[in-house]
Amino acid sequence: MAQITVIRGGAIGDFVLTLPAIDALRAAFPHLPLHLIGHPPTVRLARPDRILDHDSRLLTPLHTPGTDIPPATATLFADIHLLLAYATDPDNILSTHLRSLVPGPVLVHDPRPPEGTIEHITDHLLRPLRRHGIHIPNPSPHIHLHPEDCVYAETCWQQRKLNSPNVVFHPGSGGRHKCWPLERFLELAEELQQRRIQILFLWGPVEEDRLGRLPDPLHPLHPPGLLDLAGLLARADLFVGNDSGPSHIAAAVGTPTLTLFGPTDPRLWSPRSSRARILRAPHSQLSALDVDLVLAAVLAALDVK
């Protein structure tokens, strides 16, 4: 059966910012199944009909020049109506192999923003579809939640007896240079708790490895999967975090967000949502961003004094 296939690696935030392209393909070809090739826990956010791990050995020949493609690999691409591949392919090795295997159009696009241009990364990722004449229904990412995605959040709210106003913090990021100092997050949390605003911390293996353990009374949350995380963030009154995947997930489920930017440019990388706010650190140094400034932005977002 014919299908639509998208190849997309990268971090969680990169994938979330690709969702408008995936949704556009779904809208353009509503009767064809969607096959995603990427990191399985991440690409499940788009609820594809089929997933293949981008580290599968079946894909290795596609990146090898002058090789014969094995039948098992060729079969993967034999019934593709259209293929969109986000990949750096300077020598056209991947493009050449894919075009020899795929019966339909093959769109290969470098996911990196062109040097010296100021264009939001989502618009850059939509370029190959626009060139191909595919209509873009919505250029903002959206994660569609099902009732089962919200069970974890409901359990947390009941166990912790949470109510409004509440704020979810995520002090981590894929790069240390993109992180506001943890002690500032803790100071901000204390200021908000004094105003009877409830605080939840997201804390995963990366944060524990880089930042250590949180003080015991804070009881950080560890959602078991990204759709559980999305359901949790959809329940929050506000999300505050660095330039990271959870910031983009929060925006994509419609939660008000405050994202703290340092060395990365928010004109390219900010969460795309009408409810997303950003704070850019002075001189692009997050260590120079004062707690008072973030506190004022949080209170304004919550509409409390």
Domain assignment of residue 139, yes or no: no
Helix (H, G, I), strand (E, B) or coil at 22: helix
Same domain, 167 and 200: yes
230 and 149 in contact (C-beta within 8 Å)?
yes
Q: Which residues pair with 166 in a beta bridge?
A: 198
- Write down the pTM of the prediction: 0.95
- Counted residue by residue, the chain has a size of 305
Residue 294 lies in a domain: yes
pLDDT in tens, 17-60: 999 999 999 999 999 999 999 999 999 999 999 999 999 999 99
Same domain flag for 154 and 114: no
The candidate with the shortest Cα–Cα distance to 301, out of 167, 205, 181, 130, is 167
Same domain, 165 and 215: yes
Count how many domains the chain has.
2
Q: What is the pLDDT of residues 131-188, one digit of tens each?
A: 999 999 999 999 999 999 999 999 999 999 999 999 999 998 877 789 999 999 999 9
The phi, psi pair for 53, rounded to 5°, reads -65, 130
Same domain, 173 and 85: no
Residue 211 has pLDDT above 80, yes or no: no
- Residue 187, helix vs strand vs coil: helix
pLDDT, mean over the chain: 94
